[in-house]
Structure 1
């Protein structure tokens, strides 16, 4: 332990998570979208965020590409850096949840261990893992960013689903088969889930 770590003390705040929730009028927590590139994570998360916003729900959307433009701009795509990417997002997500906000995160987050670590860091019931399940052939045919093509041509190394593994969730809270459902239907299914769980 370094000298700096020895001198860190947790500072209790006067406004609690419960107070934020009561002020906002709804529960808070993390909705974690995971799936292959091109599966529709960002599109579904964005649509759900829009539906919640229309209802006056306090939300924030954290998207994988957007975060790498700022907070995680210093990280590459090695396995170690991907784990650090998810660790940071997990910590940021906790801060949003603590502020009474429903935070939606859209990240490939290929490793089960990393997703489980984020879940374990939050109170039970405050983390919903959403598996956006889409066959890789469908994702590759969509290829909205042209990344699969580059990976197949060897221009991108360690691309998830091509030459780097993706570990599908073992026990997700919900599975969205985005190759069989449109974006709006997926978002509406999640809206019903949030109502059933008493988040909204």
Structure 2
């Protein structure tokens, strides 16, 4: 693996291991926010469509990169081993890297779907908090009043749940556990929402 003709693939494995360690330590936690439907349809723009086809809308970006590096490194070593068997020597390092890279993209995209299904779905993804504005949520704990937020559950465009603190957008409004709301704006760590239906009557004595 440390031969010069295998250098790109050795670097790929080293980067993969480094990303795994960094991810486990919690220092690298970001995602690429791509809007794709549940059937993996192409987004509105050509760039979004291309990225979705590559599997970037199915799994976090860090996981996709680890998969890509793993497949690229394995494919490159396999190509060079096959070249040794057939010709008695390795291919030019850049030719081998080009061949490996061309095959890695579709393989990584194909692996993204099953990998996305086994990644725990109750983990919070690192999509931008602002993307939750405009989405429906449900109050889970407490009563939301002006100046007194309550906990609510909202799912992002990938179907992953997030728990946020919510206050009513309209002064005097209140939301109770189970109420469905619409997040309309955010200030710091607090979201403001409007009700999706008529608020149920407050319990007597509350």
Please classify the TM superposition score into its range, dividing by the shorter chain length.
under 0.3
TM-score (norm 2): 0.25
**Larger RCO: Structure 1 or Structure 2 (Cα < 8 Å, ≥ 6 residues apart)?**
1
